[in-house]
Amino acid sequence: MRHLPRVVASVLVVLALQGCAGTATVLSATQQKSLQALTLFNPDASPRFAADLACTGSDASCLTVENAFYAWARDRHVELRTVEPGDAVFGSGQPAHRTNPALPYRLAIRVAPLSIPSFDESGGGHGDMRTGTAYTPPKVGYTATIRVVDAASGKLLQELPVHDQQDAAYKSDVGKYIRTEMSELIGSLDPAYRAVQP
C-alpha cells in the first residue's frame, strides 16, 4: 500500500508522455530521431546552437515567420539572426558572421510561406477568398529546409526538408494560419518549448 502513490505517479508520467507524443509535428519519426541524436539542447535546456533564419516571400508572411522565430529565440535564449536565402550557411555551411565558439552547432532554417487564393469556376482565382459554384478553398502553408551544421568546420550534419499545407477558411486571416504553422515547426525542432506553450 505504501508504494501506491509511486505507482500512480508513474502511470501519470507515462500518460503525460503519451500526450506529448501525440502532439502535431511536421517532422517524421525518422527526422525527429536523427535531430534528437544531435542533442541540440543541454540538460538545463540551454541551446547548443546558434540559428540562422531566411524567409522568401513577396508579402507580409515573412514578417509573421520572423516574429514567431524571434519570440522562440527570446524565450529559449537562442542566438538568432535573419540572413538572406543565398547565405553560405545554406551552401558551404560557413556563414558570413561568427557566433559564440562554445556552441557546437548552427541551425539554418529557410522558410518559404505559401498562400494560394481560392478558385471558383466563374472566373478563376480570387484574393478575397469568396465562394463559387465549384469552389476550391484557399490554401496556406510553407516549405522549409532545416540544416544542422558543425559550427567549427561547416560540415553538414543533417538536412531535413519539411512542408505543410492546409485549407483556409472563407475570407480568413492568412497570418493566423502562418503563425500556427510556424508554432508547429518550432515545436518540432524544440519539443520542450512546445510543451510550455498555451
Query: What are the residue boundaries of the structural domains of the chain, listed by start?
Result: 26-196
pLDDT in tens, 30-58: 887 878 888 999 999 899 999 999 999 87
* CA torsion angle 110 70 42 13 (round to 10): -100
Q: Assign domain 26-196 one CATH number from 3.40.50, 3.30.160, 2.60.40, 1.10.40.
A: 3.30.160
Q: Which residues of the chain have pLDDT under 50?
A: 1-23, 125-129, 131-132
> Whole-prediction pTM value?
0.74
Give the pLDDT confidence score for residue 123 in this predicted structure. Answer: 52
